[in-house]
Chain A
């Protein structure tokens, strides 16, 4: 048997440590029985809700990566621009009582404006910031993307201040249903349902339409696609449009769930959704959806399930720790993600 180096020992230590925490914690929590079935149900519902939002954001990362091999670091901030645009529609509609009395046209108006804004900004960043770097190899495009991220954050901070604005929360959002004894919040059903619907539409677009197929062809081999007469620039614009639309929807939902908007709000969901995309296998569309839901569930259920049992108080504050531990574990032990292939194979 080959001798293990120090790094291998450390990695095995980490694996065993994480597995121990998960197993011991879970057993401990279940024995203590601190949480009721209703509470577990709440954790799962919230996990699915936030997971559906991560999934939508993750799609933007994964599609752009697939086509351009670029990690669009500014994607979380594109989500933020959508949330802000939605806010400027939602706030007056809420004050006038329209959103309360006409929830469907109200939500449609908010979503349309949010989608239009985030898509426009996504396309502008592609045209102005990313396209000039298209043929540059190395780190320059990634650093450029980080620059775009800062640019968007600071522009919104300059324009709208750094204070947290509270998102309107009309009465009907607080409605909930009783399903076989469990309390199901209406907003969760709305967010998950619409997210699933939009993702299904996106999936069909990518699978069935001419541009969707061209996008998959470019993702696999851009040069061969160009030789078939496919205009790669058009495909890139198409890709950023799809990502921008999903980002706009996700921004509105995220703001409705957390009931606030501010200039830096895109960062955390952005980086988590990137983690979700990596978790599912970056470049893979079903992978991004799966990764988003999985990450949402783990960070929602995980703190209580894993950490309570080993005696950590108020574990819910540690959900980001759980989310990023999961991301690091994936990067170390399965960098290709759940549904992905090894990066090296991609260009073979």
Chain B
């Protein structure tokens, strides 16, 4: 059984149907990516999984459990955590407090402290800035913090929405490196990206979205070589 199973969900913004029956599966320990243009429904899919939007039809199952009716905070507590688009760190809280908020649902203080040390090793830049107010960090550092904050929850599935957006090319490479590292440590990842080549390059499986529908799916490498994908996204 897949860790995350989305079965034919339809999501509406008022009367506009943003997702028109999307089905996908994320297997344990995979990196799965959703690619597609602006307004294809990538973020909407992640928002529906996280419980910020509620599908009118269809089901979302995480680890076999139907997520219908759960609030966003309940879903986060099940180990399904999102790094939202635009990072959305708490700019007026310190870096340390941001990390603490990531571990909000956890009561195991020792393990939380260990995880914080682990984050400091993964993102050494954050260590120097622990006491600093997060709003003063650079864009790249904010992305690190947003990722570290989500990892502090010990997610089993990490949803990442456009983690490379707005970053300098050098940092973009780093972001994809980090995603691979996190995945290698056992975290399953569902990644939404506009940077299709980079995303497909690291993904086990990819889905191509177009106006609320999945138009193509396959192994990351396969899609990267697919003529239609190349024409549409890789120029």
Binding site for B on A (CB under 8 A): 210, 213-214, 216-217, 220-221, 223-232
Contacts and interface: CB of A to CB of B under 8 A. Distances in A.
Interface of B: 50-52, 71-73, 76-77, 81-82, 84, 88-93, 97, 100-102, 104-105, 149-150, 153
Contact of A213 (B71, B82, B100): B100
A340 to B, nearest CB: 12
Given A224-B84, A226-B52, A230-B104, A216 B90 contact: yes
30 contacts: A213-B93, A213-B97, A214-B104, A216-B93, A216-B97, A217-B93, A220-B90, A220-B92, A221-B90, A223-B72, A223-B84, A224-B84, A224-B89, A224-B90, A225-B90, A226-B76, A227-B72, A227-B81, A227-B84, A228-B73, A228-B76, A228-B150, A228-B153, A229-B76, A229-B77, A229-B81, A229-B153, A230-B101, A230-B104, A231-B71
A221 B90 CA distance: 7
A332 to B, nearest CB: 27
Nearest to A226: B72
A231 B77 CA distance: 10
Nearest to B149: A228
Nearest to A219: B92
Nearest to A213: B97
A210 to B, nearest CB: 7
Given A217-B90, A230-B73, A210 B82 contact: no
A146 B88 CA distance: 33
A214 B150 CA distance: 15
B101 A225 contact: yes
A228 B149 CA distance: 8
B101 A220 contact: no
A47 B143 CA distance: 48
A217 B101 contact: yes
Given A214-B101, A220-B92, 10 more contacts: A213-B93, A223-B72, A223-B84, A226-B52, A227-B50, A227-B76, A227-B82, A228-B101, A229-B104, A230-B101
A135 B89 CA distance: 23
A228 B92 contact: no
A106 B71 CA distance: 45
The 3 residue pairs across chains A and B that have the minimum distance between CB atoms: A229-B76, A229-B105, A226-B72
A232 to B, nearest CB: 7
A223 B52 CA distance: 8
B71 A226 contact: yes
Of the listed residues B73, B82, B91, the one surrounded by the most CB atoms of chain A closer than 10 A to its CB is B73
A226 B73 contact: yes
B151 to A, nearest CB: 11
Contacts of B97: 213, 216-217
A232 B101 CA distance: 13
A298 B90 CA distance: 35
Contacts of A226: 51-52, 71-73, 76
A210 B100 CA distance: 8
A224 B101 CA distance: 10
Given A227-B76, A228-B101, A229-B73, A220 B93 contact: yes
B117 to A, nearest CB: 20
